């Protein structure tokens, strides 16, 4: 087994952000199942996120979601994070849960609603200032359900106007990443449905705007690693919302549904210099039926394994076979890396860093799950509407 400095350096560079909302309840429109020990406020969410970092050593930041993570003092929350050994990551805006947003937020036909939505986006930049966050993640659920319902093109004009205003508000060390999604909750025309749309807007906005790729937000058959390679080539890949899916935006654990796809994506990241900074690796998942902290730990490990395999690709041999048009040879080199069992490598990597070799087992043995189940009695569990 090749244990090169390249692999180690790559793994060290890979930092995965976990989302505060993964620690709260989530579900489908049919049912949100609850579980003992679920956090009741942003402070408890951050405490849980800190456990993921404690056992993996690879998840040093936590993304916030406003207003789900609204607190009195964001600087206090940032201090709480630091005290727990983590930091605040991206600020995720939410302009989809107010009754006013039924027909859209920044693309709503009603200018008053648009103003309200924009105000929230600008407030999120205030939160960035207060927490030291450098990334504003924008996802718009905006769209229409029925043909004719609204003017597709006018909604782009409204979107552009809002984005311009947010962009103008960003500080020197701040940037925005724009997320796209094929559908849900809009069921006919989504206003930012694909990477092309997000890319075009980001291009107009300027260097502080980049595209974020949520791996669950594509049409069936979409080659996601192509998009990753393309955006990296254009200098416009802002980051990832990692998760996996068999069907639509299933939000399963990253690497669970198609580990080979995750490997291919991570290969293009490595190939395109995406580990060298500037690309944010964020998880965005729903642990509807599995315990949440272990769900995050497992996801972090899955991303690490995919990255390790990607780093193991013998790129010289690959380039040679590609150059010679040796289809099976090149494919073989690629698959050899994928076929490698990198779990021992990662166990060693962790031990060198003073961590337990098996984060899942170490977390289970820590008693943390039992402790929060016993302690967090009363109050209201956090969820997507909390």
Residue with tokens 């790559």: 10
Residue 150 near its own copies by CB under 8 A: yes
Query: Whose Cβ is closer to its own copies: residue 99's or residue 172's?
Result: 99
Scan residues 301-320 and list those touching its own copies (CB under 8 A): 305, 313, 318-319
Binding mask 210-249 for its own copies (x = CB under 8 A): --------xxxxxx-xxx-xx-xxx----------xxxx-
Query: Whose Cβ is closer to its own copies: residue 133's or residue 141's?
Result: 141
CB 272 within 8 A of CB 226: no
Q: Whose CA is closest to 10, among 337, 283, 254, 306?
A: 306
Phi, psi of 321 (to 5 degrees): -65, -40
Q: How far is the CB of 101 from its own copies (least distance, A)?
A: 8
Residue 325 near its own copies by CB under 8 A: yes
Give the residue, chosen from 252, 279, 308, 386, that forms a contact with its own copies under the rule CB under 8 A.
252
Residue 277 near its own copies by CB under 8 A: no
Residue 4 near its own copies by CB under 8 A: no
Residue 37 near its own copies by CB under 8 A: no
DSSP H helical segments within 57-191, as ranges? 74-83, 111-131, 152-169
Query: Whose Cβ is closer to its own copies: residue 110's or residue 161's?
Result: 110
CB 357 within 8 A of CB 347: yes
Distance CA 216, CA 266 (A): 15
Residue 96 near its own copies by CB under 8 A: yes
CB 254 within 8 A of CB 215: yes
Q: How far is the CB of 72 from its own copies (least distance, A)?
A: 25
Q: How far is the CB of 210 from its own copies (least distance, A)?
A: 14
Give the residue, chosen from 36, 75, 79, 110, that forms a contact with its own copies under the rule CB under 8 A.
110
**Residue 249 CA from chain centroid, whole number:** 13
Distance CA 105, CA 117 (A): 5
Residue 378 near its own copies by CB under 8 A: no
Q: Whose CA is closest to 44, among 22, 75, 67?
A: 22
Phi, psi of 233 (to 5 degrees): -60, -35
Look up residue 350 and give its two tokens: 């962790």
Stretch binding its own copies (CB under 8 A), from 74-82, 102-110, 277-285, 347-355: 102-110
Query: Whose Cβ is closer to its own copies: residue 43's or residue 96's?
Result: 96
Residue 148 near its own copies by CB under 8 A: yes
Give the residue, chosen from 298, 349, 359, 372, that forms a contact with its own copies under the rule CB under 8 A.
298
Residue 3 near its own copies by CB under 8 A: no
Give the residue, chosen from 291, 311, 349, 386, that forms a contact with its own copies under the rule CB under 8 A.
291
Q: Whose CA is closest to 285, among 257, 254, 258?
A: 254
Residue 366 near its own copies by CB under 8 A: no
Q: How far is the CB of 73 from its own copies (least distance, A)?
A: 28
Give the residue, chosen from 8, 13, 15, 27, that forms a contact with its own copies under the rule CB under 8 A.
27
Look up residue 21 and give its two tokens: 């909302």
Look up residue 262 and give its two tokens: 């995750």
Q: At what angle do helices 259-271 and 327-339 cross, to 10 degrees?
A: 110
Scan residues 164-193 and list those touching its own copies (CB under 8 A): 182-185, 187-190, 193
Distance CA 301, CA 298 (A): 5
Distance CA 183, CA 178 (A): 15
Residue 271 near its own copies by CB under 8 A: yes
């Amino acid at each position: 087994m090749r244990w090169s400095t390249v692999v180690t350096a790559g793994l060290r560079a890979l930092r995965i952000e976990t989302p505060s909302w993964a620690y709260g309840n989530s579900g489908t429109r049919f049912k949100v199942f609850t579980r003992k020990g679920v956090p009741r406020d942003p402070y408890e969410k951050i405490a849980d996120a800190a456990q993921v970092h404690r056992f993996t050593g690879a998840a040093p930041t936590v993304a916030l979601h406003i207003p789900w993570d609204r607190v009195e003092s964001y600087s206090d929350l940032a201090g709480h994070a630091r005290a727990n050994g983590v930091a605040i990551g991206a600020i995720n805006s939410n302009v989809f849960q107010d009754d006013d947003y039924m027909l859209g937020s920044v693309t709503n036909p009603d200018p008053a609603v648009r103003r309200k939505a924009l105000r929230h986006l600008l407030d999120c930049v205030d939160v960035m200032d207060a927490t030291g966050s450098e990334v504003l993640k924008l996802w718009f659920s905006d769209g229409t359900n029925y043909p004719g319902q609204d003017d597709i093109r006018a909604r782009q004009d409204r979107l552009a106007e809002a984005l311009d205003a947010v962009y103008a508000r960003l500080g020197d060390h701040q940037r925005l990443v724009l997320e796209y999604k094929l559908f849900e909750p809009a069921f006919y025309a989504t206003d930012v449905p694909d990477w092309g749309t997000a890319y075009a807007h980001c291009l107009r906005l300027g260097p502080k705007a980049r595209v974020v790729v949520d791996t669950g937000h594509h049409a069936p058959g979409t080659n996601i690693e192509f998009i990753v390679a393309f955006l990296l080539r254009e200098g416009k890949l802002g980051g990832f919302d990692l998760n996996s899916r068999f069907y639509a935006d299933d939000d399963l654990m990253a690497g669970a549904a198609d580990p080979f796809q995750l490997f291919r994506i991570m290969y293009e990241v490595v190939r395109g210099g995406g580990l060298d900074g500037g690309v944010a690796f964020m998880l965005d998942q729903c642990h509807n039926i599995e315990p949440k902290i272990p769900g995050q730990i497992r996801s972090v490990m899955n991303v690490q394994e995919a990255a390790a395999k990607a780093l193991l690709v013998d790129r010289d041999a690959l380039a040679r076979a590609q150059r010679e048009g040796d289809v099976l040879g090149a494919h073989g080199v690629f698959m050899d890396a994928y076929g490698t069992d990198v779990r021992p490598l990662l166990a060693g990597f962790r031990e060198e860093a003073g961590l337990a070799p098996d984060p899942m087992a170490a977390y289970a043995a820590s008693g943390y799950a039992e402790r929060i189940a016993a302690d967090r009695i009363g109050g209201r569990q956090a969820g997507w509407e909390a």
